[in-house]
Amino acid sequence: MNLEDILVDTLSITSEKAKTILKSRSTKKIVHKDLLILVFKREMLGYPEGTSIIHDTSTSISRVIPGYPPIPRLLILEKIRDIFKEEVVVEEKINGYNVRVAAIGEKIISLTRGGNICPYTHYKILKLYGEKLRKLFQDYPDLILCGEAIGMDNPYVRYEGYRDVSFDYIVFDMMQKREFLSIKKRDSIATEYGLKIPKSYGFYKPEEFRRIIDLSVQLEEKGIEGFVIKSMNNEVRVKYTMTSTNIGDIREGMRFFFEEGRTYIFPRVLREIFRQYELMKNGYNFGEEVYVKLGKALLEPPIETVAKTEKGEMSDEDFTLVLDDLRILDEFLQYMEKQKIPIH
């Protein structure tokens, strides 16, 4: 069965449309062991970026795993009352990297946001939750877990808020086909199968946005990155980040200021402008403290980078991986080479 036939069968489209998709630069083909994968690099046919059409050549089973759609970002918490009409839940925004977990027949797969199968991530998730996931997918074969890989021992992100965690996987959403399960259903399944979900900060009516502003200050003091606000049926979702996250991201991005540039830095400055404005409007004033932190985040890292470059030193990032199987390390190094990511 070739890719054209697989697309026609799984997406219910014509051969002509399938041929057009295969010729597009907006798709990429991946071969991972027995799996043949076509990934959408942008939204196509109503499917989000990162959508993967997967065919298991050993069993001839095919399946579409939709990409996780981007969550709109909220700049002003007061706008909650315009976005939501009924009660909402506020949950911790997990700071890691996005991973979807699903089953293709009896095989469990782990897909990054870009539709790749990272050997390290897949190995760690199965090591932690393999038996639970096998039972889950026996009972719910069409389920797709949408979660975040966290911890200090991973090859992509390091967040000090999880410095006591080596590696873990938190499920923040569940999908069946392209429909999200309600918060109640997600929580029920997670509890039944022993999966972790984000911490809940309570339920609020949209007109209680001032309570959520107060909550954001309390959570900031505890070092929480941000939160996601969801309708109870999980059809509407928005995310909000704290000052520590906005400035922390700026500091990290300015280490590689020629690579990240203003498309990365400016939106984060913008988020902080609106956060501080709304806090001041509601009786909080962290102005001077934030101004100093933001100035340091913008200037200190690039100056350090320039100084290192002048000395002929390399600006890079260090990551720690914890493995008890060197074959996975070999697979991971080959994977990073295919991604054209240099490792020293």
- Digitized pLDDT (tens) for each residue of the chain, 344 residues in all: 788 899 999 999 999 999 999 999 999 999 988 999 999 999 999 999 999 999 999 999 999 999 999 999 999 999 999 999 999 999 999 988 999 999 999 999 999 998 999 999 999 999 999 999 999 999 999 999 999 999 888 888 766 667 788 899 999 999 998 899 999 999 999 999 999 999 999 999 999 999 999 999 999 999 898 999 999 999 999 999 999 999 998 998 888 777 766 788 899 999 999 999 999 999 998 888 999 999 999 999 889 888 888 887 766 666 777 777 778 888 888 877 777 666 65
Kindly state whether residue 209 falls inside one of the protein's structural domains: no
Kindly state whether residue 230 falls inside one of the protein's structural domains: no
The count of domains in the chain is 3
Kindly state whether residue 225 falls inside one of the protein's structural domains: no
Q: Are residues 110 and 174 in the same domain?
A: yes
- CATH classification of the domain holding 46: 3.10.450
Strands 143-150 and 179-180, bridge-based pairing: unpaired
- CATH classification of the domain holding 181: 3.30.470.30
Q: Locate tokens 């996601």: which residue?
A: 228
Instruction: State which residues form the domain around 50.
Output: 3-65
Q: Are residues 61 and 102 in the same domain?
A: no
Kindly state whether residue 10 falls inside one of the protein's structural domains: yes
Q: Are residues 98 and 187 in the same domain?
A: yes
Cα–Cα distance measured from residue 158 to residue 98, given in angstroms and rounded to the nearest whole number:
14
Question: For residue 325, what are the β-bridge partners?
Answer: none
Residue that terminates a domain, selected from 138, 171, 197? 197
Kindly state whether residue 322 falls inside one of the protein's structural domains: no
Cα–Cα distance measured from residue 256 to residue 230, given in angstroms and rounded to the nearest whole number:
34
Kindly state whether residue 286 falls inside one of the protein's structural domains: yes
DSSP state of 73: B
Neighbours of 336 (CB within 10 A): 16
